[in-house]
């Protein structure tokens, strides 16, 4: 009897312990759930970690949940969206810095996705289990841009007079009417230079030049905003079908490549001024041709940088010359490219290597000599092999020779001239430190080329890379 009572007492004690343990578990669940209020859940969303998202790159969304441990959070990415691919998810402690002291304040969830096309996206909400309860957490609306590595700079025009619509393909202008417009560039780090073709039967001038023309890069940070380059004034003088000024810019893209871009083409119709003057008479100072004899407006142009100057230019020139006498991909090449990038210049590959050219020549002669020996000893197959090796060495030797013996030079910066005279300025500027090709020389002047830009400069403005 006593034994049975003891067993009963033992079982009752075990049951009470289990009930207490179960009660503690339920109490802890409710205490955690109580901390996560519905209003707080409604404020949660997956936020973009960067200002801009791009196609074909991993894009990170973060969700910060305070006062909840990572083991109490689980994400179920079970949604699908067009042009959106889920990459990975990760949980970590949410670290907050308060008064210089770091503390663990909850859980940070990171979701990585990839977009295949540019556009504006709102990814469908996903289930997130927080403290054993599931909630749908939305994503912030984001705009995805084309990958900067593949974006080509764009040029646009904005007219000062609202009656001209830059989005239209045609313009109607009164003969003698002043048309002011500003040229904007988009998706470009810097403008190397620009030029224009003077329209026939019209007056044309540059009013203002903005800072982006100063040959200094805007930085590597992406921006979708259009940046002003210059403001121009155009005034057609004769009626009929006219031509809108053709302005060409040479811009550096985000991937470092150079692009030649032009202003949009407009179909211009110049209306006779008499049709307007019949109702409104213009004072003598506003006649059609009075503008040609008026004093030009005084405008302060933005200072134009000449790229590398002084010791920096000398350092770049020394690196170019040293690179010529070394094999490619050495520390000299890396130092030269780093200096050009820091100065806003676009690195243009590698300097022709004299040692590489000599190496290919030596190999060609060596393989030819061995082939001759093989033929003398009647080892025809072996001789044929060395003949092929000789040809394989001679071809790159010939290619390298074309570059080694071509006149390369470094330009100290300044304007190109259309003719070899000081008053023959073309308005096109090249920054200092730019590598140029010298085509010809005449009377203290040399004719140089940078990509599609060509012009005359004084001979002492270039230093041959030797």
DSSP letters, 266-297, are -EEEEEPTHHHHTTSPPPGGGSTTGGGGSPPP
Q: What is the DSSP string of 174-185?
A: ETT--EEEEEEE
Our CA dihedral for 312, 316, 317, 323, rounded to 10 degrees, sits at: 160
Across residues 8-19, what is the average pLDDT?
A: 63
Residue 216 pLDDT: 44
Residue 260 pairs with which residues in a beta bridge? 250
142, 120 in Cβ contact below 8 A? yes
Q: Is the pLDDT of residue 389 over 90?
A: no
- C-alpha 425/C-alpha 455 separation (Å) is 9
Residue 154 pairs with which residues in a beta bridge? 186
Sign of CA dihedral 198, 199, 200, 202: negative
Residue 48 pLDDT: 93
The pTM of this model reads 0.47
Residue 37 pLDDT: 73
Residue 279 pLDDT: 44
Highest mean pLDDT range out of 13-17, 191-195, 423-427? 191-195
Give me the sheet containing 227-236, strands edge to edge. Answer: 154-159, 179-186, 227-236, 202-209
Residue 75 DSSP code: E
Across residues 9-17, what is the average pLDDT?
A: 63
Q: What is the mean pLDDT of the chain?
A: 77
- C-alpha 383/C-alpha 374 separation (Å) is 5
Q: Which residues contact 336 (CB under 8 A, 6 or more apart)?
A: 316, 319, 320, 323, 347, 351
Residue 140 pLDDT: 92
Q: Is the pLDDT of residue 236 over 60?
A: yes
Residue 186 pLDDT: 87
Across residues 125-146, what is the average pLDDT?
A: 89
pLDDT confidence band for 2 (50 / 70 / 90): low
Q: Is the pLDDT of residue 3 over 60?
A: no
- C-alpha 273/C-alpha 319 separation (Å) is 60
- C-alpha 109/C-alpha 113 separation (Å) is 13
Phi, psi of 465 (to 5 degrees): -85, 110
Q: Is the pLDDT of residue 62 over 90?
A: yes
Please tell me the least confidently modeled range out of 42-51, 61-70, 222-231, 302-311: 302-311
> Residues of the chain with pLDDT > 90: what percent?
6
Residue 277 pLDDT: 47
**265-321 pLDDT, tens per residue?**
888 888 886 655 444 444 444 444 444 444 444 443 333 344 667 777 788 788 878
């Amino acid at each position: 009897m006593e034994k049975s009572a003891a067993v009963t007492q033992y079982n009752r004690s075990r049951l009470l312990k289990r009930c207490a343990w179960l009660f503690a578990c339920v109490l802890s669940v409710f205490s955690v759930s109580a901390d996560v209020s519905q209003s707080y859940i409604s404020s949660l969303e997956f936020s973009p970690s960067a200002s801009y998202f791009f196609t074909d790159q991993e894009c990170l969304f973060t969700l910060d949940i305070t006062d909840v441990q990572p083991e109490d959070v689980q994400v179920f990415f079970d949604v699908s969206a067009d042009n959106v691919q889920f990459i990975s998810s990760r949980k970590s402690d949410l670290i907050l810095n308060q008064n210089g002291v770091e503390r663990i304040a909850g859980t940070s969830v990171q979701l990585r996705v990839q977009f295949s096309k540019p556009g504006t996206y709102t990814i469908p909400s996903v289930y997130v289990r927080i403290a054993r309860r599931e909630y749908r957490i939305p994503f912030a609306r984001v705009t995805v841009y084309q990958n900067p590595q593949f974006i080509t700079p764009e040029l646009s025009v904005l007219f000062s007079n609202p009656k001209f619509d830059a989005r239209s393909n045609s313009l109607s202008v009164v003969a003698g009417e002043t048309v002011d417009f500003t040229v904007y560039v988009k998706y470009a780090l810097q403008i190397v230079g620009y030029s224009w073709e003077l329209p026939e039967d019209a007056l044309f001038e540059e009013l203002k030049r903005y800072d982006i023309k100063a040959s200094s890069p805007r930085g590597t940070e992406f921006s979708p905003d259009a940046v002003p380059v210059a403001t121009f004034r155009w005034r057609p003088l004769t009626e009929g079908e006219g031509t809108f000024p053709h302005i060409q810019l040479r811009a550096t893209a985000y991937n470092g490549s150079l692009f030649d871009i032009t202003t949009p083409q407009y179909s211009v119709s110049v209306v006779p001024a008499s049709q307007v003057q019949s109702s409104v008479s213009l004072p003598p100072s506003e006649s059609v041709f009075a503008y040609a004899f008026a004093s030009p407006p005084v405008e302060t142009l933005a200072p134009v940088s000449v790229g590398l100057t002084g010791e920096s230019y000398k350092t770049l020139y020394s690196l170019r010359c040293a690179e010529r006498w070394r094999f490619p991909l050495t520390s000299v090449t890396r130092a030269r490219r780093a200096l050009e990038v820091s100065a806003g210049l676009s690195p243009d590959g590698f300097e022709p290597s004299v040692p590489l050219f000599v190496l290919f020549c030596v190999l060609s002669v060596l393989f030819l000599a061995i082939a001759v020996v093989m033929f003398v000893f009647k080892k025809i197959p072996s001789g044929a092999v060395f003949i092929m090796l000789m040809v394989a060495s001679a071809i790159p030797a010939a290619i390298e020779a074309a570059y080694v013996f071509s006149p390369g030079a470094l330009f100290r910066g300044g304007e190109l001239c259309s003719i070899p005279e000081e008053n023959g300025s073309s308005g096109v500027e090249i920054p200092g430190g730019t590598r140029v090709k010298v085509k010809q020389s005449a009377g203290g002047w040399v004719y140089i080329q940078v990509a599609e830009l060509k012009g005359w400069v004084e001979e002492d403005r270039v230093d041959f890379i030797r």
